[in-house]
Amino acid sequence: MKQKEVRFVFDMYDSINALDKADANLLKQARLNTASAYAPYSQFQVGAAALLANGEVVNGSNQENASTPVGLCAERVLLSAISSLFPDTAIQTMAISFNNLKGASDHPISPCGICRQTILEYQIRLKHPIRLILSGMEGAVYVVPDAALLLPMSFTGNDMK
């Protein structure tokens, strides 16, 4: 019998002020993008912004539906937009923020399970790790160097070859 331990390291900052300019700008954009969320049911507005290898910044936000499972998280809205606008362009960094209209927005959130799987698909397709910048409208910022770290023992297309 053998055992394997999975661990990962990420950076924690006290606030956006500790980030370099490029990361701070992307996080600011994600915070702004919470305003375009359509979240009448949860009142939980999520904004996302991605910096691509070609220098473009693409925006996304969560889009809900009266039929709850139909709703889409900001991350998947963003990834679909990127894939439509710039299909073969690597995604360097994604910033994700949220504005909770019913409570505090002062801590980082990280992508849900479905979004982790979706992000991984794009990393594999584009052969490039995606950095994540995670923060609310204020407070601490987490920077994860590779989104794949959030989904150990993942299922991918390679398993079906």
Cβ nearer to ligand THU, comparing 16 with 77: 77
Query: Which of 93, 72, 79, 91 lies closest to 135, judged by CA?
Result: 93
Give the integer Cα–Cα distance in Å for 117 and 151: 7
Exactly one of 5, 56, 64, 75 is catalytic; name it. Answer: 75
Q: Please report how close the Cβ of residue 161 comes to ligand THU at its closest, in angstroms.
A: 30
Residues that bind ligand THU (CB under 6 A): 39, 42, 44, 46, 62, 64, 71, 73-75, 109, 111-112, 115
121 is catalytic: no
- The whole-angstrom separation of Cα 151 and Cα 130 is 13
Minimum gap (Å) between residue 158 Cβ and ligand THU: 26
Pairing of strands 131-135, 91-100: parallel
Of the two residues 17 and 66, which places its CB atom closer to ligand THU in the complex?
66
The CA distances from residue 135 to 12, 15, 57, in Å, are: 10, 9, 18
Tokens of 8: 């990962």
Q: Are 6 and 23 in contact (CB under 8 A)?
A: no
* Rounded least distance, CB 69 to ligand THU, Å: 11
Q: How far is the CB of 136 from ligand THU (least distance, A)?
A: 12
Q: Could you give the maximum distance between any two Cα atoms of the chain, in Å? A: 52
CB nearer ligand THU, residue 89 or residue 99: 99
Q: Which residues are catalytic?
A: 75
